Structure 1
Amino acid sequence: MTLKELQTELQEMQKKLDILFSVQKNIEEIKEALHEANTEAALVRQELLDTKQELRRCQEQTGNVQQKLNSTIYKLDKLEQYGRKESIRIYGLPESDTGNDDGEKLLHDVAKQLQISLSPSDVQRAHRVGKKRESRPRPIIAKFVSFKKRQEFMMKKRELRNQKNYINENLTPIRYKLMYYLKQTPAVEATGSSYGRISIKVNGKWLQIDSPEDLLKTGLEIDWNTVQQIYER
Protein backbone atom coordinates (compact mmCIF):
# COMPACT_ATOMS: atom_id res chain seq x y z
CA MET A 1 0.00 0.00 0.00
CA THR A 2 1.41 3.35 -0.99
CA LEU A 3 1.58 6.33 1.35
CA LYS A 4 -1.10 8.10 -0.63
CA GLU A 5 -3.45 5.16 -0.37
CA LEU A 6 -2.80 4.97 3.34
CA GLN A 7 -3.61 8.66 3.74
CA THR A 8 -6.82 8.23 1.77
CA GLU A 9 -7.87 5.30 3.96
CA LEU A 10 -7.11 7.27 7.10
CA GLN A 11 -9.22 10.15 5.83
CA GLU A 12 -12.13 7.77 5.19
CA MET A 13 -11.79 6.33 8.68
CA GLN A 14 -11.77 9.84 10.15
CA LYS A 15 -14.98 10.67 8.28
CA LYS A 16 -16.60 7.54 9.67
CA LEU A 17 -15.43 8.42 13.18
CA ASP A 18 -16.84 11.94 12.81
CA ILE A 19 -20.17 10.47 11.73
CA LEU A 20 -20.09 8.04 14.66
CA PHE A 21 -19.31 10.83 17.14
CA SER A 22 -22.11 12.92 15.62
CA VAL A 23 -24.57 10.03 15.94
CA GLN A 24 -23.46 9.42 19.52
CA LYS A 25 -23.94 13.11 20.32
CA ASN A 26 -27.43 13.00 18.81
CA ILE A 27 -28.23 9.92 20.87
CA GLU A 28 -27.13 11.71 24.04
CA GLU A 29 -29.26 14.71 23.12
CA ILE A 30 -32.22 12.45 22.44
CA LYS A 31 -31.69 10.68 25.78
CA GLU A 32 -31.58 14.04 27.53
CA ALA A 33 -34.72 15.20 25.72
CA LEU A 34 -36.50 11.96 26.64
CA HIS A 35 -35.46 12.38 30.26
CA GLU A 36 -36.84 15.92 30.28
CA ALA A 37 -40.02 14.74 28.58
CA ASN A 38 -40.47 11.94 31.13
CA THR A 39 -39.90 14.40 33.96
CA GLU A 40 -42.44 16.80 32.44
CA ALA A 41 -44.92 13.94 31.90
CA ALA A 42 -44.53 12.92 35.54
CA LEU A 43 -45.24 16.49 36.63
CA VAL A 44 -48.29 16.65 34.35
CA ARG A 45 -49.55 13.32 35.72
CA GLN A 46 -49.14 14.60 39.27
CA GLU A 47 -50.93 17.84 38.40
CA LEU A 48 -53.73 15.82 36.81
CA LEU A 49 -53.99 13.64 39.92
CA ASP A 50 -54.04 16.72 42.16
CA THR A 51 -56.72 18.29 39.93
CA LYS A 52 -58.87 15.14 40.11
CA GLN A 53 -58.55 15.06 43.90
CA GLU A 54 -59.45 18.73 44.13
CA LEU A 55 -62.42 18.19 41.81
CA ARG A 56 -63.56 15.28 43.96
CA ARG A 57 -63.33 17.44 47.08
CA CYS A 58 -65.28 20.21 45.35
CA GLN A 59 -67.95 17.73 44.25
CA GLU A 60 -68.22 16.39 47.78
CA GLN A 61 -68.49 19.92 49.16
CA THR A 62 -71.07 20.83 46.51
CA GLY A 63 -73.01 17.68 47.32
CA ASN A 64 -72.95 18.50 51.03
CA VAL A 65 -74.06 22.08 50.36
CA GLN A 66 -76.88 20.87 48.08
CA GLN A 67 -77.94 18.30 50.67
CA LYS A 68 -78.05 20.97 53.39
CA LEU A 69 -79.94 23.29 51.05
CA ASN A 70 -82.48 20.57 50.25
CA SER A 71 -82.88 19.85 53.96
CA THR A 72 -83.53 23.53 54.67
CA ILE A 73 -85.99 23.80 51.79
CA TYR A 74 -87.92 20.78 52.99
CA LYS A 75 -88.02 22.04 56.57
CA LEU A 76 -89.58 25.24 55.26
CA ASP A 77 -91.92 23.15 53.14
CA LYS A 78 -93.04 21.24 56.23
CA LEU A 79 -93.93 24.53 57.87
CA GLU A 80 -95.85 25.58 54.76
CA GLN A 81 -97.69 22.26 54.69
CA TYR A 82 -98.55 22.66 58.36
CA GLY A 83 -100.08 26.03 57.50
CA ARG A 84 -102.39 24.23 55.05
CA LYS A 85 -103.68 21.70 57.58
CA GLU A 86 -107.15 23.29 57.74
CA SER A 87 -107.62 23.39 53.95
CA ILE A 88 -108.66 21.02 51.16
CA ARG A 89 -108.86 21.06 47.37
CA ILE A 90 -112.04 20.10 45.57
CA TYR A 91 -111.73 19.04 41.94
CA GLY A 92 -114.24 18.65 39.13
CA LEU A 93 -116.90 21.16 40.16
CA PRO A 94 -118.35 22.79 37.01
CA GLU A 95 -117.00 26.28 36.32
CA SER A 96 -118.94 29.15 34.80
CA ASP A 97 -117.81 30.80 31.57
CA THR A 98 -116.68 33.87 33.46
CA GLY A 99 -114.89 31.86 36.15
CA ASN A 100 -116.36 34.17 38.81
CA ASP A 101 -117.96 31.37 40.79
CA ASP A 102 -119.01 31.70 44.40
CA GLY A 103 -116.55 29.30 46.03
CA GLU A 104 -118.35 29.22 49.35
CA LYS A 105 -121.68 28.38 47.69
CA LEU A 106 -120.05 25.49 45.81
CA LEU A 107 -118.47 24.31 49.05
CA HIS A 108 -121.86 24.34 50.76
CA ASP A 109 -123.29 22.32 47.86
CA VAL A 110 -120.58 19.69 48.40
CA ALA A 111 -121.24 19.73 52.16
CA LYS A 112 -124.93 19.12 51.51
CA GLN A 113 -124.09 16.25 49.17
CA LEU A 114 -121.87 14.69 51.86
CA GLN A 115 -124.43 15.44 54.60
CA ILE A 116 -121.99 17.63 56.50
CA SER A 117 -123.30 20.46 58.63
CA LEU A 118 -121.54 23.62 57.44
CA SER A 119 -122.20 27.20 58.54
CA PRO A 120 -120.60 30.38 57.13
CA SER A 121 -118.59 30.72 60.35
CA ASP A 122 -116.91 27.36 59.63
CA VAL A 123 -115.31 28.68 56.43
CA GLN A 124 -112.42 31.11 56.35
CA ARG A 125 -112.39 31.32 52.56
CA ALA A 126 -113.16 29.25 49.44
CA HIS A 127 -112.15 30.15 45.90
CA ARG A 128 -110.88 28.72 42.64
CA VAL A 129 -107.14 28.58 42.05
CA GLY A 130 -104.96 28.45 38.93
CA LYS A 131 -105.37 29.66 35.37
CA LYS A 132 -108.71 29.12 33.71
CA ARG A 133 -108.70 26.30 31.14
CA GLU A 134 -111.22 25.15 28.57
CA SER A 135 -110.39 21.46 29.11
CA ARG A 136 -111.34 21.17 32.78
CA PRO A 137 -112.60 23.32 35.65
CA ARG A 138 -110.13 24.77 38.12
CA PRO A 139 -110.04 23.27 41.61
CA ILE A 140 -111.44 25.08 44.61
CA ILE A 141 -109.34 25.65 47.71
CA ALA A 142 -111.39 25.74 50.87
CA LYS A 143 -109.85 26.79 54.17
CA PHE A 144 -111.81 26.08 57.32
CA VAL A 145 -111.65 27.79 60.68
CA SER A 146 -110.97 24.46 62.41
CA PHE A 147 -109.03 21.32 61.52
CA LYS A 148 -111.96 19.28 62.82
CA LYS A 149 -114.30 20.60 60.11
CA ARG A 150 -111.67 19.93 57.44
CA GLN A 151 -111.44 16.33 58.66
CA GLU A 152 -115.18 15.85 58.25
CA PHE A 153 -114.76 16.47 54.52
CA MET A 154 -111.67 14.26 54.28
CA MET A 155 -113.42 11.38 56.10
CA LYS A 156 -116.38 11.52 53.70
CA LYS A 157 -114.56 12.34 50.48
CA ARG A 158 -115.26 8.84 49.06
CA GLU A 159 -118.98 9.45 49.34
CA LEU A 160 -119.17 12.03 46.55
CA ARG A 161 -121.94 10.83 44.27
CA ASN A 162 -120.44 12.39 41.15
CA GLN A 163 -117.30 10.41 40.36
CA LYS A 164 -115.90 13.37 38.43
CA ASN A 165 -115.67 15.28 41.69
CA TYR A 166 -113.07 14.43 44.31
CA ILE A 167 -111.37 15.91 47.34
CA ASN A 168 -107.65 15.97 48.08
CA GLU A 169 -105.40 17.49 50.68
CA ASN A 170 -104.04 20.93 49.84
CA LEU A 171 -100.42 19.92 49.26
CA THR A 172 -97.51 22.33 48.82
CA PRO A 173 -95.98 22.63 45.33
CA ILE A 174 -93.03 20.41 46.37
CA ARG A 175 -95.30 17.65 47.69
CA TYR A 176 -97.67 17.98 44.75
CA LYS A 177 -94.81 17.58 42.24
CA LEU A 178 -93.39 14.67 44.24
CA MET A 179 -96.80 12.98 44.25
CA TYR A 180 -97.18 13.55 40.49
CA TYR A 181 -93.72 12.11 39.81
CA LEU A 182 -94.47 9.02 41.90
CA LYS A 183 -97.75 8.45 40.07
CA GLN A 184 -95.77 8.32 36.81
CA THR A 185 -93.30 5.77 38.21
CA PRO A 186 -94.25 2.28 36.88
CA ALA A 187 -93.14 0.37 40.00
CA VAL A 188 -95.43 2.46 42.23
CA GLU A 189 -98.74 0.61 42.54
CA ALA A 190 -100.65 3.34 44.37
CA THR A 191 -100.16 6.72 46.02
CA GLY A 192 -101.86 8.61 48.80
CA SER A 193 -101.39 11.35 51.35
CA SER A 194 -102.43 11.91 54.93
CA TYR A 195 -101.77 15.06 56.97
CA GLY A 196 -99.41 16.19 54.21
CA ARG A 197 -97.34 13.00 54.33
CA ILE A 198 -97.12 11.08 51.06
CA SER A 199 -97.38 7.29 50.97
CA ILE A 200 -96.68 4.89 48.12
CA LYS A 201 -97.42 1.23 47.59
CA VAL A 202 -94.48 -0.82 46.27
CA ASN A 203 -94.50 -4.63 46.03
CA GLY A 204 -97.70 -4.72 48.06
CA LYS A 205 -96.29 -2.66 50.93
CA TRP A 206 -97.07 0.92 51.87
CA LEU A 207 -94.06 3.19 52.43
CA GLN A 208 -94.10 6.70 53.85
CA ILE A 209 -92.23 9.45 51.99
CA ASP A 210 -91.48 12.40 54.26
CA SER A 211 -88.97 13.94 51.83
CA PRO A 212 -87.54 13.19 48.38
CA GLU A 213 -84.46 11.67 50.11
CA ASP A 214 -86.73 8.95 51.49
CA LEU A 215 -87.00 7.65 47.93
CA LEU A 216 -83.51 6.19 48.46
CA LYS A 217 -85.03 3.68 50.87
CA THR A 218 -87.70 2.43 48.48
CA GLY A 219 -85.47 0.48 46.08
CA LEU A 220 -87.08 2.29 43.13
CA GLU A 221 -85.12 3.34 40.08
CA ILE A 222 -85.23 7.09 40.52
CA ASP A 223 -84.37 9.85 38.07
CA TRP A 224 -82.50 12.08 40.50
CA ASN A 225 -82.31 14.97 38.07
CA THR A 226 -86.09 15.05 38.13
CA VAL A 227 -86.18 14.74 41.91
CA GLN A 228 -83.73 17.65 42.20
CA GLN A 229 -86.03 19.73 40.00
CA ILE A 230 -88.80 19.11 42.52
CA TYR A 231 -86.94 21.43 44.88
CA GLU A 232 -86.64 24.11 42.22
CA ARG A 233 -90.11 25.53 42.61
Structure 2
Amino acid sequence: MNLQEIKMMMDVQTEAYKNALQVFVSQCNVRIDGCNETIGDLKRSLEFSQVDIDDLKNQVKLLLQEKETQTKLIAELKQELLESRETIKALTTRCNELDDLQRCNNLRIDGLPEVDAETTEQTAVAVSSVLREKLELREQPLESAHRVGPRQEGRPRPAVARFTRQLDRDAALRHGKMLRGTNIYLNEDLCPASRKMRTDQLPALKAARAQGKIAFFVNAKLIIKEKSNDRDAPRNTGTSAGLRQCTASSAVEPQATERTVSQPDFQEKQQLPNDSESRRTTRQATRAENH
Protein backbone atom coordinates (compact mmCIF):
# COMPACT_ATOMS: atom_id res chain seq x y z
CA MET A 1 0.00 0.00 0.00
CA ASN A 2 1.60 3.18 -1.17
CA LEU A 3 1.37 6.62 0.28
CA GLN A 4 -1.32 7.73 -2.14
CA GLU A 5 -3.68 4.98 -1.04
CA ILE A 6 -3.05 5.76 2.61
CA LYS A 7 -3.82 9.39 1.99
CA MET A 8 -7.05 8.53 0.23
CA MET A 9 -8.12 6.27 3.07
CA MET A 10 -7.39 8.99 5.61
CA ASP A 11 -9.42 11.49 3.57
CA VAL A 12 -12.35 9.04 3.45
CA GLN A 13 -12.24 8.49 7.18
CA THR A 14 -11.89 12.20 7.85
CA GLU A 15 -14.93 12.89 5.70
CA ALA A 16 -16.86 10.15 7.49
CA TYR A 17 -15.93 11.57 10.90
CA LYS A 18 -16.83 15.05 9.70
CA ASN A 19 -20.22 13.90 8.48
CA ALA A 20 -20.87 12.02 11.71
CA LEU A 21 -19.85 15.06 13.76
CA GLN A 22 -22.13 17.29 11.71
CA VAL A 23 -25.03 14.88 12.24
CA PHE A 24 -24.32 14.81 15.99
CA VAL A 25 -24.02 18.60 16.17
CA SER A 26 -27.26 18.94 14.22
CA GLN A 27 -29.04 16.58 16.59
CA CYS A 28 -27.62 18.45 19.57
CA ASN A 29 -28.80 21.74 18.08
CA VAL A 30 -32.28 20.29 17.61
CA ARG A 31 -32.32 19.14 21.21
CA ILE A 32 -30.99 22.45 22.44
CA ASP A 33 -33.66 24.28 20.49
CA GLY A 34 -36.29 22.00 22.05
CA CYS A 35 -34.85 22.66 25.48
CA ASN A 36 -34.85 26.40 24.78
CA GLU A 37 -38.50 26.24 23.77
CA THR A 38 -39.34 24.23 26.88
CA ILE A 39 -37.41 26.67 29.04
CA GLY A 40 -39.25 29.54 27.38
CA ASP A 41 -42.58 27.89 28.05
CA LEU A 42 -41.59 27.23 31.66
CA LYS A 43 -40.47 30.82 32.05
CA ARG A 44 -43.75 32.16 30.71
CA SER A 45 -45.62 29.72 32.94
CA LEU A 46 -43.59 30.85 35.95
CA GLU A 47 -44.34 34.45 35.12
CA PHE A 48 -48.07 33.72 35.07
CA SER A 49 -47.68 31.67 38.25
CA GLN A 50 -45.84 34.53 39.89
CA VAL A 51 -48.71 36.83 39.04
CA ASP A 52 -51.15 34.34 40.56
CA ILE A 53 -48.91 33.99 43.62
CA ASP A 54 -48.82 37.76 44.04
CA ASP A 55 -52.60 37.88 43.77
CA LEU A 56 -52.91 35.09 46.33
CA LYS A 57 -50.51 36.92 48.64
CA ASN A 58 -52.63 40.03 48.40
CA GLN A 59 -55.78 38.02 49.05
CA VAL A 60 -54.17 36.33 52.06
CA LYS A 61 -53.09 39.72 53.36
CA LEU A 62 -56.63 41.04 52.97
CA LEU A 63 -58.03 37.93 54.62
CA LEU A 64 -55.65 38.33 57.55
CA GLN A 65 -56.66 41.95 57.93
CA GLU A 66 -60.34 40.97 57.75
CA LYS A 67 -59.72 38.21 60.28
CA GLU A 68 -58.10 40.67 62.65
CA THR A 69 -61.03 43.03 62.22
CA GLN A 70 -63.52 40.21 62.74
CA THR A 71 -61.60 39.05 65.80
CA LYS A 72 -61.80 42.52 67.32
CA LEU A 73 -65.49 42.72 66.43
CA ILE A 74 -66.15 39.32 67.99
CA ALA A 75 -64.32 40.38 71.14
CA GLU A 76 -66.41 43.57 71.30
CA LEU A 77 -69.61 41.59 70.72
CA LYS A 78 -68.63 39.12 73.44
CA GLN A 79 -68.03 41.99 75.83
CA GLU A 80 -71.35 43.56 74.88
CA LEU A 81 -73.03 40.17 75.35
CA LEU A 82 -71.51 39.79 78.81
CA GLU A 83 -72.57 43.32 79.72
CA SER A 84 -76.06 42.64 78.35
CA ARG A 85 -76.29 39.45 80.39
CA GLU A 86 -75.19 41.32 83.51
CA THR A 87 -77.73 44.03 82.78
CA ILE A 88 -80.48 41.47 82.19
CA LYS A 89 -79.49 39.68 85.39
CA ALA A 90 -79.56 42.93 87.36
CA LEU A 91 -82.89 43.94 85.83
CA THR A 92 -84.33 40.49 86.51
CA THR A 93 -83.17 40.67 90.10
CA ARG A 94 -84.62 44.14 90.44
CA CYS A 95 -87.94 43.04 88.94
CA ASN A 96 -88.07 40.09 91.33
CA GLU A 97 -87.32 42.41 94.25
CA LEU A 98 -90.05 44.81 93.14
CA ASP A 99 -92.44 41.89 92.72
CA ASP A 100 -91.63 40.69 96.25
CA LEU A 101 -92.00 44.25 97.51
CA GLN A 102 -95.48 44.48 96.03
CA ARG A 103 -96.32 41.24 97.84
CA CYS A 104 -95.05 42.42 101.23
CA ASN A 105 -98.61 42.75 102.55
CA ASN A 106 -99.59 39.31 101.22
CA LEU A 107 -99.92 36.10 103.20
CA ARG A 108 -99.85 32.80 101.34
CA ILE A 109 -101.92 30.03 102.92
CA ASP A 110 -101.81 26.37 101.94
CA GLY A 111 -104.23 23.76 103.19
CA LEU A 112 -107.19 26.10 103.67
CA PRO A 113 -110.28 24.06 102.66
CA GLU A 114 -111.94 25.19 99.47
CA VAL A 115 -115.61 24.83 98.64
CA ASP A 116 -117.00 24.36 95.17
CA ALA A 117 -117.35 27.60 93.22
CA GLU A 118 -115.80 29.50 96.12
CA THR A 119 -115.97 33.28 95.84
CA THR A 120 -113.40 35.79 97.02
CA GLU A 121 -115.75 36.82 99.81
CA GLN A 122 -115.90 33.25 101.09
CA THR A 123 -112.11 33.01 100.90
CA ALA A 124 -111.77 36.24 102.89
CA VAL A 125 -114.19 34.91 105.55
CA ALA A 126 -112.23 31.66 105.88
CA VAL A 127 -108.94 33.56 106.22
CA SER A 128 -110.42 35.93 108.80
CA SER A 129 -111.69 32.93 110.76
CA VAL A 130 -108.21 31.43 110.93
CA LEU A 131 -106.70 34.76 112.00
CA ARG A 132 -109.28 35.45 114.68
CA GLU A 133 -109.99 32.02 116.15
CA LYS A 134 -106.82 30.04 115.56
CA LEU A 135 -104.12 32.72 115.71
CA GLU A 136 -105.97 34.72 118.38
CA LEU A 137 -105.43 37.97 116.51
CA ARG A 138 -107.76 40.93 116.65
CA GLU A 139 -109.87 41.73 113.65
CA GLN A 140 -107.43 42.67 110.91
CA PRO A 141 -108.87 44.21 107.75
CA LEU A 142 -108.08 42.45 104.48
CA GLU A 143 -107.89 44.23 101.18
CA SER A 144 -108.55 41.05 99.25
CA ALA A 145 -108.30 37.27 99.34
CA HIS A 146 -108.30 34.86 96.44
CA ARG A 147 -107.17 31.42 95.34
CA VAL A 148 -104.19 30.87 93.06
CA GLY A 149 -103.00 28.01 90.89
CA PRO A 150 -104.88 25.27 89.03
CA ARG A 151 -107.50 23.13 90.72
CA GLN A 152 -106.38 19.69 91.93
CA GLU A 153 -108.59 16.79 92.86
CA GLY A 154 -108.80 16.36 96.63
CA ARG A 155 -106.47 19.25 97.37
CA PRO A 156 -107.39 22.89 98.00
CA ARG A 157 -105.64 25.59 96.06
CA PRO A 158 -103.36 28.01 97.93
CA ALA A 159 -105.03 31.19 99.12
CA VAL A 160 -103.39 34.61 99.03
CA ALA A 161 -104.68 37.23 101.48
CA ARG A 162 -103.62 40.86 101.18
CA PHE A 163 -103.56 42.86 104.40
CA THR A 164 -104.03 46.60 104.66
CA ARG A 165 -100.77 46.93 106.61
CA GLN A 166 -97.59 44.91 106.49
CA LEU A 167 -97.44 44.86 110.28
CA ASP A 168 -100.67 42.84 110.34
CA ARG A 169 -99.24 40.37 107.87
CA ASP A 170 -96.05 40.04 109.96
CA ALA A 171 -98.11 39.50 113.11
CA ALA A 172 -99.91 36.62 111.42
CA LEU A 173 -96.58 35.06 110.43
CA ARG A 174 -95.27 35.37 114.00
CA HIS A 175 -98.37 33.72 115.42
CA GLY A 176 -98.13 30.93 112.87
CA LYS A 177 -96.23 28.74 115.36
CA MET A 178 -99.47 28.39 117.31
CA LEU A 179 -100.70 26.11 114.52
CA ARG A 180 -97.59 23.98 114.26
CA GLY A 181 -98.24 20.37 113.32
CA THR A 182 -101.59 20.95 111.63
CA ASN A 183 -102.73 21.12 108.05
CA ILE A 184 -102.44 24.80 107.21
CA TYR A 185 -99.20 26.43 106.08
CA LEU A 186 -98.44 30.14 106.30
CA ASN A 187 -95.62 31.93 104.57
CA GLU A 188 -94.66 35.08 102.74
CA ASP A 189 -96.07 35.42 99.26
CA LEU A 190 -92.96 35.52 97.06
CA CYS A 191 -92.60 35.61 93.31
CA PRO A 192 -91.81 32.27 91.56
CA ALA A 193 -88.16 33.23 91.03
CA SER A 194 -87.66 33.93 94.73
CA ARG A 195 -89.32 30.64 95.67
CA LYS A 196 -86.98 28.79 93.32
CA MET A 197 -83.97 30.56 94.86
CA ARG A 198 -85.14 29.38 98.27
CA THR A 199 -85.41 25.82 96.98
CA ASP A 200 -81.89 25.96 95.58
CA GLN A 201 -80.52 27.23 98.92
CA LEU A 202 -82.25 24.65 101.10
CA PRO A 203 -79.19 22.31 101.23
CA ALA A 204 -77.06 25.19 102.53
CA LEU A 205 -79.71 26.06 105.12
CA LYS A 206 -79.87 22.45 106.34
CA ALA A 207 -76.08 22.20 106.48
CA ALA A 208 -75.82 25.40 108.52
CA ARG A 209 -78.44 24.23 111.00
CA ALA A 210 -76.73 20.86 111.28
CA GLN A 211 -73.62 22.77 112.40
CA GLY A 212 -75.59 24.51 115.14
CA LYS A 213 -75.90 27.84 113.37
CA ILE A 214 -78.95 30.06 113.01
CA ALA A 215 -80.17 30.04 109.42
CA PHE A 216 -83.29 31.61 107.96
CA PHE A 217 -84.53 33.35 104.84
CA VAL A 218 -85.14 37.02 104.20
CA ASN A 219 -87.19 36.89 101.03
CA ALA A 220 -84.90 34.90 98.70
CA LYS A 221 -81.70 35.62 100.63
CA LEU A 222 -80.28 33.04 103.02
CA ILE A 223 -79.00 34.50 106.32
CA ILE A 224 -76.61 32.42 108.44
CA LYS A 225 -75.42 33.53 111.89
CA GLU A 226 -73.37 32.04 114.69
CA LYS A 227 -75.37 31.42 117.84
CA SER A 228 -72.59 32.57 120.15
CA ASN A 229 -72.19 35.90 118.34
CA ASP A 230 -75.86 36.45 117.64
CA ARG A 231 -76.19 39.43 120.00
CA ASP A 232 -72.98 41.15 118.96
CA ALA A 233 -73.29 40.50 115.24
CA PRO A 234 -74.61 43.46 113.20
CA ARG A 235 -77.95 42.99 111.60
CA ASN A 236 -77.93 42.02 107.97
CA THR A 237 -79.51 44.85 106.01
CA GLY A 238 -80.31 44.23 102.37
CA THR A 239 -79.54 46.85 99.77
CA SER A 240 -82.77 46.40 97.90
CA ALA A 241 -86.04 48.03 98.78
CA GLY A 242 -87.70 44.63 98.94
CA LEU A 243 -85.32 43.44 101.64
CA ARG A 244 -85.73 46.66 103.65
CA GLN A 245 -89.52 46.44 103.55
CA CYS A 246 -89.87 42.72 104.20
CA THR A 247 -87.19 42.03 106.86
CA ALA A 248 -89.65 41.76 109.70
CA SER A 249 -91.54 38.95 108.01
CA SER A 250 -88.49 36.66 107.99
CA ALA A 251 -88.42 35.97 111.73
CA VAL A 252 -89.44 32.31 111.42
CA GLU A 253 -88.14 29.85 113.95
CA PRO A 254 -85.63 27.32 112.57
CA GLN A 255 -87.79 24.36 113.52
CA ALA A 256 -90.81 25.79 111.73
CA THR A 257 -88.78 26.47 108.60
CA GLU A 258 -87.43 22.93 108.58
CA ARG A 259 -90.96 21.55 108.74
CA THR A 260 -91.94 23.45 105.66
CA VAL A 261 -89.16 22.13 103.45
CA SER A 262 -91.23 19.25 102.12
CA GLN A 263 -94.30 21.43 101.62
CA PRO A 264 -95.04 23.69 98.65
CA ASP A 265 -93.52 27.18 98.83
CA PHE A 266 -92.00 26.36 102.27
CA GLN A 267 -95.17 27.43 104.03
CA GLU A 268 -95.73 26.89 107.72
CA LYS A 269 -98.61 24.59 108.52
CA GLN A 270 -101.39 26.04 110.57
CA GLN A 271 -104.45 24.27 111.94
CA LEU A 272 -107.69 24.42 110.03
CA PRO A 273 -110.89 25.20 111.94
CA ASN A 274 -113.40 22.38 111.93
CA ASP A 275 -116.69 22.66 110.09
CA SER A 276 -118.73 23.76 113.12
CA GLU A 277 -116.26 26.52 113.95
CA SER A 278 -116.18 27.63 110.32
CA ARG A 279 -119.99 27.84 110.21
CA ARG A 280 -120.09 29.71 113.51
CA THR A 281 -117.44 32.15 112.26
CA THR A 282 -119.37 32.72 109.06
CA ARG A 283 -122.55 33.49 111.02
CA GLN A 284 -120.64 35.87 113.29
CA ALA A 285 -119.11 37.66 110.31
CA THR A 286 -122.54 37.97 108.70
CA ARG A 287 -124.07 39.43 111.86
CA ALA A 288 -121.17 41.88 112.17
CA GLU A 289 -121.71 43.05 108.60
CA ASN A 290 -125.44 43.52 109.23
CA HIS A 291 -124.75 45.64 112.31
**TM-score, normalised to structure 1's length?**
0.70
Paired residue secondary structure (1:154): helix
Spell out, residue by residue over 1:123-150, the C-alpha distance to the aligned partner (whole angstroms, 9 max, x if none).
2222212222226321111111222221
**Counterpart in the other structure of 2:108:** 89
Amino acid aligned to 2:53: L
**Counterpart in the other structure of 1:156:** 175
Note the 1:130-145 alignment, pairs <5 A. Answer: 130-134=149-153, 136-145=155-164
Q: Which structure has the highest helix share of the two?
A: 2
> d(CA) in 1 for partners of 2:153 and 2:239?
35
Alignment equivalent of 1:169, drawn from 176, 185, 188: 188
Larger Rg: 2
Classify 1:131/1:46 alpha carbon distance in 2 versus 1 (closer, same or farther; 3 Å). same
> d(CA) in 1 for partners of 2:223 and 2:66?
49
Amino acid aligned to 1:9: C
Classify 1:19/1:122 alpha carbon distance in 2 versus 1 (closer, same or farther; 3 Å). same
Structure ranking higher on relative contact order (CA contacts 8 Å, 6+ apart): 2
Percent identity for Structure 1 against Structure 2: 18
Q: CA deviation at 1:89?
A: 0.3
Structure 2 residue runs of 5 or longer lacking an equivalent are: 1-17, 207-214, 225-235, 241-291
Alignment equivalent of 2:54, drawn from 35, 39, 46: 35
> d(CA) in 2 for partners of 1:208 and 1:63?
29
> d(CA) in 1 for partners of 2:53 and 2:223?
64
Classify 1:208/1:174 alpha carbon distance in 2 versus 1 (closer, same or farther; 3 Å). farther
**Counterpart in the other structure of 2:221:** 198
> d(CA) in 2 for partners of 1:30 and 1:156?
92
> d(CA) in 2 for partners of 1:175 and 1:115?
27
Count of residues paired in the alignment:
201
**Counterpart in the other structure of 2:67:** 48
Amino acid aligned to 2:112: L
**Counterpart in the other structure of 1:220:** none
Task: Note if contact 2:201-2:222 (Cα within 8 Å) is conserved in structure 1.
Answer: no
Structure 1 residue runs of 5 or longer lacking an equivalent are: 202-206, 212-233
**Counterpart in the other structure of 1:106:** 126
Classify 1:24/1:135 alpha carbon distance in 2 versus 1 (closer, same or farther; 3 Å). farther
Classify 1:181/1:115 alpha carbon distance in 2 versus 1 (closer, same or farther; 3 Å). closer
Q: Which moved more, 1:129-138 or 1:6-15?
A: 129-138
For the aligned residues, what is the CA RMSD? 3.1
**TM-score, normalised to structure 2's length?**
0.58
Q: CA deviation at 1:152?
A: 1.5
Classify 1:209/1:26 alpha carbon distance in 2 versus 1 (closer, same or farther; 3 Å). farther
Classify 1:55/1:21 alpha carbon distance in 2 versus 1 (closer, same or farther; 3 Å). same
> d(CA) in 2 for partners of 1:122 and 1:87?
12
Classify 1:58/1:79 alpha carbon distance in 2 versus 1 (closer, same or farther; 3 Å). same
Classify 1:46/1:135 alpha carbon distance in 2 versus 1 (closer, same or farther; 3 Å). farther
Q: Which moved more, 1:155-164 or 1:52-61?
A: 155-164
